[in-house]
Structure 1
């Protein structure tokens, strides 16, 4: 089975730092928006394990990649032993604050949930996303929410 998805970047329309928290994070108030700029991911079942490839040689394709982490957490949660190959066509600029990696991780969670008919709820995907990165839950939802606190949904 093979699927191709588009994963949109996000921008911060507003970002207010309200103070520092005891846990080392900052209290924030921000409005974010998904935009039309997208990476394109192709996911295909393969031999055992997770394989990640990317058109941008600066992107690590090892277990530190958020796409790899997303595939691993959903496969562990669902007890999946199949292999998955994920190719990233990188269009979102690297390290530009546009949440490209988080968008890709969110896309992998949604795509594998659908591709393997796992039936995981939005809340479960959000919980998994929170283990990967603070922007992943937003990228699962998209749109233009007001977010407060330390930036975790």
Structure 2
């Protein structure tokens, strides 16, 4: 689907770090059908806010809608855990038919949610000199 995945070690480090902080912070969901894993997703929980963090599915057996099954299970678990917000994260900024992410937007809108714009990410430099050096390096790439 033209998504660029992160390498496996990224997810292994993420899993280890977040679960060390709180065993319930990150959960992995797998959608099985006829003994085959068709989709996977991760869910992050901080207080009453739950995020669908990462997910992927195979192109096989899409008609059984494994992503819908995962989302439903994750939403039910979030609700059962007392979540006030279930966040599907980013959506495309356009509704153009040729946008390869339009299907993802349709999927997310189909859950009945609403689009919310946040301020974005902020950097808090712990070491100002290193932060400035990183900014300089990134500006020259």
Question: Which one has the largest radius of gyration?
Answer: 2
Smaller-chain TM-score range? 0.3 to 0.5
Q: Report 1 or 2 for greater relative contact order, CA contacts < 8 Å, sequence distance ≥ 6.
A: 1
**Which is helix-richer, 1 or 2?**
2
TM-score w.r.t. length of structure 2:
0.32
**Which is strand-richer, 1 or 2?**
1
